[in-house]
Structure 1
Amino acid sequence: MSAAPAREPGEIFGPRVTLFADVLSVGLITAVVCLPLVTVPAALSTACEVLRGGQRDRPATAGRYLTVLRKRLRPGDLAAGALALAGALLLAADLALAGAGLPGARVFAVVAGAIGACAAVIGLRACARPESLTDWRPAVLGAARDVPRDPGGSALVLLALAAAVLCGWMMLPLAFLAPGPLALALTAIDVRNRGAVRGARSGP
């Protein structure tokens, strides 16, 4: 029987419960920062960075989230948010037109849905990459390469997004906590993918 994980001084419930509480607090503040909509990429990218800091024994707290966010708010973040919002609105408009009964609407809806899903996966994987803290271009390019190279991870990104949307749709208060688990999933997928890439480069 394995020994229980050691607790830090002052830690009452153990590391697993502490991580759960950290994820919820980060999710709550991420949801608040996302309210202007154009700040969604920056907010999610910051959440991933804060949760990634747990590997380096950095606290995943709301205070550290605000510290990281203040250092990285720049015009490029708002431009990325505006582009993501415009793409989401365009996709919604296209799907609405497809539902109006136009000729070829079903095929168009499938194609538009597939394009939207690919764009969402690339965008979310870009948010999880450390490069997004300083420059979105290499983050998006790296995420675009990861999509075909890591199809399992891309599928997990879609499942994580679907779970977050479903939680918010079923119970509105959960929408303010869903960004935390979503950011944790994105971070874990990115860390796993980077580990696999390093293992493949090192060889047997």
Structure 2
Amino acid sequence: MRDVSSREPGEVFGPRTTLFADVLSIGLATALVSLPLVTIPAALSTACAVLRGAGEGQPATAGRYFVLLRGRLRAGDLAAGVAALAGAVLFAADLALARAGLPGAPLFAAVAAGIGTAALVVGLRACARPEALSDWTAALREATRDAVRDVGGSALVLLAAATAALCGWMLVPLAFLAPGPLALALTAVHLRRAAISQN
């Protein structure tokens, strides 16, 4: 194992900041691929796959991200994106109706917020699962189990999503880098769950 303060020839960043720089470049690539909106699940799950591969000695670079992405964006990935987008629009419409002052609006808003939060957690956890690369149904099924069995991990996923949203809201240019740290957090939660399951 080489000294952590040394640099390989041609290495721009020191070893301690290489992963950080790679995460930011993957975040930027993910943000660009996500611009059509229906590509968000495929873009985020590809970012998680690249970062998961970093733990296995594979490069975590934007170049590898686009290589993996080339095999994606098939009908299943786009269908997942359409379903996610439709769910987000329905959730926003439900909350708008609740704000309109209809009878029972506070209870309705609380139920809608609970359902929306659960759907967000399951969707994000599905993006971190390896099954998302080939089978979204299996990824969602396993992510639902993970969300129920690993409440602490689900709380971490919510915290990561809230942090990413807050960074994008506070400083708009950060919104283009936030998907990288979000993907890193989702991958870490998934690997944590996998390690717990093996013990």
User: TM-score scaled to structure 1, two decimals?
Assistant: 0.93
Correspondences of 1:83-94 after superposition (within 5 Å)? 83-94=83-94
1:14-69 residue CA offsets vs partner (Å, 9 max, x unmatched): 32200110000000010000000000000000000011111111111111100000
CA distance in 2, matches of 1:126, 1:71: 18
CA distance in 1, matches of 2:148, 2:6: 40
CA distance in 2, matches of 1:185, 1:8: 26
1:136-188 residue CA offsets vs partner (Å, 9 max, x unmatched): 01100000000110000000000000000011111110000000000000000
Contact 2:4 2:16 in 1 (8 A): no
Q: Are residue 74 (structure 1) and residue 67 (structure 2) matched?
A: no
CA distance in 2, matches of 1:55, 1:171: 31
Q: Which amino acid aligns with 1:14?
A: G
Q: Which amino acid aligns with 1:5?
A: V
Q: Secondary structure at the match of 1:92?
A: helix
CA distance in 2, matches of 1:87, 1:50: 27
Q: Are residue 171 (structure 1) and residue 171 (structure 2) matched?
A: yes
1:90-139 residue CA offsets vs partner (Å, 9 max, x unmatched): 00000000011111111111110000000000000000000100110110
Q: Which amino acid aligns with 2:91?
A: L
Q: Are residue 141 (structure 1) and residue 141 (structure 2) matched?
A: yes
Following superposition, which runs of at least 4 residues in structure 1 exceed 3 angstroms of deviation?
none
- Alignment match, 1:65: 65
Q: Secondary structure at the match of 1:76?
A: helix
Query: Which segments of 5 or more consecutive residues in structure 2 lack a partner in the other structure?
Result: none
- Alignment match, 1:202: none
CA distance in 2, matches of 1:36, 1:111: 29
- Alignment match, 1:5: 4
Measured on the aligned residues, the alpha-carbon RMSD in Å equals 1.3
Contact 2:47 2:180 in 1 (8 A): yes
Decide whether aligned partners of structure 1 residues 7 and 58 sit closer, same or farther in structure 2, where only a CA change above 3 A counts. farther
Aligned residues: 197
1:65-87 residue CA offsets vs partner (Å, 9 max, x unmatched): 00000012210000000000000
Query: Which segments of 5 or more consecutive residues in structure 1 lack a partner in the other structure?
Result: 200-204
Correspondences of 1:39-188 after superposition (within 5 Å)? 39-188=39-188
Judge which range, 80-89 or 10-19, deviates more. 10-19
CA distance in 1, matches of 2:170, 2:13: 30
Deviation at 1:6, TM superposition (A): 6.2
User: TM-score scaled to structure 2, two decimals?
Assistant: 0.96
CA distance in 1, matches of 2:7, 2:70: 29
CA distance in 1, matches of 2:87, 2:6: 46
